Amino acid sequence: MENELNIDMMNELRDLYYAHQDIIHNSYINAEHEINELLTSDHDIIGRVLKCHLVIEYFMNQFVEDKIQIKDIKELNLSFYQKILLIEQVDNGYKFYLEPVKVINKIRNKLAHNIDPLIDFNILKDLKKIVDFVYKDENIQESITLIEKYTVIVCTALKIDTNNDMRIYKERVIKIIDKYK
Q: Does 107 score more than 90 pLDDT? A: yes
Q: How far is CA 48 from the centre of its chain?
A: 9
Residue 168, pLDDT score: 73
Domain parsing of the chain, residue ranges? 2-40, 44-179
pTM of the complete model = 0.75
Q: What's the pLDDT score for residue 149?
A: 95
pLDDT surpassing 90 at residue 96: no
On whether the CB atoms of residues 134 and 37 are closer than 8 A, the answer is no
CA distance 34 to 59: 39
Residue 95 CB neighbour total at 10 angstroms: 14
The alpha carbon of 166 is separated from its chain's Cα centroid by a whole number of angstroms, namely: 29
Q: Are 156 and 134 spatial neighbours (Cβ–Cβ below 8 Å)?
A: no
Confidence class for position 54, pLDDT limits 50, 70, 90: very high
Sign, CA torsion 165/169/170/171: positive
- The answer on pLDDT for 88 being more than 80 is yes
